[in-house]
Structure 1
Amino acid sequence: MELAQFLVLKQQYKPNKTEVLFIADGMPVNERYFYLKNSNIYRAVKTAYSQVFGEFKTDDEFLEFFKEMGCYFDSLTNEPIKHMPPAEQRKARQQGVESLAHRIAEMQPRLIIISLKVIEKFAREAINLSGVDMVEHIAVTPFPVKSMVNVNNCINGVVAALRTVEWDV
């Protein structure tokens, strides 16, 4: 799948009003992606939402609910960076701050969940630069890879963050 196809797919799931913004690192370098319903972060977020809102019969039902609730999954950079050396990753993340700040300013989310601790500094810089003052809570979770501890900490972090917001469900 080409990067442009990932960006089109992401836009299809963008809600009219963003209540919850998930910020990940960069776009995928392979065929694993949140909106393709086949990535670790997708499974962890779906599990967390199931714990808070109840079970979903299908992946499509979950993604529809996710969008209807005003939830959106974005990334710090609109390019794949996982394959880059660490110094280039940091540079790409820094270059993504201003663009992310503009998107945050447009979306005006109430809750922001940063889905990778290493990007927290950059994401917070973008949040501050956005000038958005209606964010009720910012949470940072580990990315759900490498160990079940990370997976469970991600799920528990998303659950805790979701419970900080009043929902009209």
Structure 2
Amino acid sequence: MPSDDSQHSQPWRDVDVLLIGESDEECARFFGGECELTDAAARAFEDAFGVRFESTDEFLTFFRDQGCHLESLCAFPSHTSSGSERTRLLRESVPDLATRLQNLQPDVVVTLLKRIEPHVTKSIELAGLVVPLYVLPYPRKSQADAFREGLAAILRSRSRSRRAA
């Protein structure tokens, strides 16, 4: 487990690939190495870059060093809300995410839940960005392979683009 989550959770240079989850709580678990998203993302990075991580801390450092960052759409724990309340919270979070997108200026955006894609799309539009948007399923048991393969393909594509530039 990382000794200082803040060193991993803050982007320290231009963001190449921005992953967007649903809530801050999800991001905190990711940077704390305490969720299936961290494990699946680490495996996707291993597949894409031909590396093996000995620890979550090693993965998170590599994640950041590759110009990757994770943000949340919603600052509130939306997963505990009812359907209509969750939709309202996500919709109201769009302008805040748009501001963060303007600041981060990602080259690529990857949405980690299909259901938040419309909100992320609206945030990208409000931010005035023209960037590719990929939508991946959250890596729960039945979707873990699709997530891993999808993220690895995006990372390989970005890696080739960076080498060609």
TM-score category of the 2 structures, normalised to the smaller one: 0.7 to 0.9
Distance change >3 Å, CA 85–CA 10, structure 1 → 2: farther
Q: Distance in 2 between matches of 1:125 and 1:11?
A: 29
Uncovered stretches (5+) of structure 1, i.e. residues with no partner: 1-7
Identity of aligned residues (%): 28
TM-score (norm 1): 0.85
Shift, 1:11, TM fit: 7.0
1:151 matched to 2:147: no
Higher helix share: 2
Moved over 3 A (4+): 8-12
Equivalent residue, structure 1, for 2:137: 142
1:41-52 matches, within 5 Å, as 41-52=37-48
Aligned residues: 156
Shift, 1:9, TM fit: 4.2
1:91 matched to 2:127: no
1:58 matched to 2:55: yes
Give the alignment partner of residue 16 of structure 2, picking from 14, 19, 22.
Answer: 19
Uncovered stretches (5+) of structure 2, i.e. residues with no partner: none
Equivalent residue, structure 1, for 2:36: 40
TM-score (norm 2): 0.87
Give the root-mean-square deviation of aligned CA atoms. 2.0
